[in-house]
Amino acid sequence: MSTINETIEAEDDATRRDFLHVAAAGMAGVGAVMAAWPFIDQMNPAADTLALASVEVDLSAIGEGEAVVIKWRGKPVFVRHRTQAEIEEARAVPVASLIDKQTDEERVQEGHADWLVVMGVCTHLGCVPLGTKTGDERGEYGGWFCPCHGSHYDTAGRIRKGPAPKNLEVPTYTFLSDSTLQIG
């Protein structure tokens, strides 16, 4: 009988030990997660960055042939209400003659060819090109001109002349309505 009791006590001791090992390992895991959380959480974007994640633009205030500069994520974005002549001129350019080969249709959204949205940062060295204000130099192709090193962009924001290697970048944007645009 004492052998049975000793066996039962040994099994109970083993079960208690197993439970204590599992509980200790579980508590150590929870402690490690709790200690690591502040380091992981600090990698999230700051509140001021999240506030700039998207911006809405009222298009009704921009007349045909005019452009505005919107600040998004700390960088300028050019929003131009293109005229029919500017659209036709941009679409008439042979793609093979371009430095960075993109059609006008690839740079605007379908059904909204009159609205061009591009980042206002020259792709050469990051200067802000001229061409959004009345009286600004627009370069030889009627779009934008970068005064820093002489890059010329056309009315679709494509590089046509100068040291810039790429077209002006097109950010992510959507039309919320016919008169409201959301960038980001």
Which residues belong to the active site?
149
Q: Does residue 160 contact residue 153 with C-beta atoms inside 8 Å? A: yes
163 contacts: CB under 8 Å, gap ≥ 6:
124, 149, 150, 151
SS3 track for 17-41: HHHHHHHHHHHHHHHHHHHHHHHHH
Q: What share of the chain is helix, strand, coil (3-state, %, to 5)?
A: 35, 25, 40
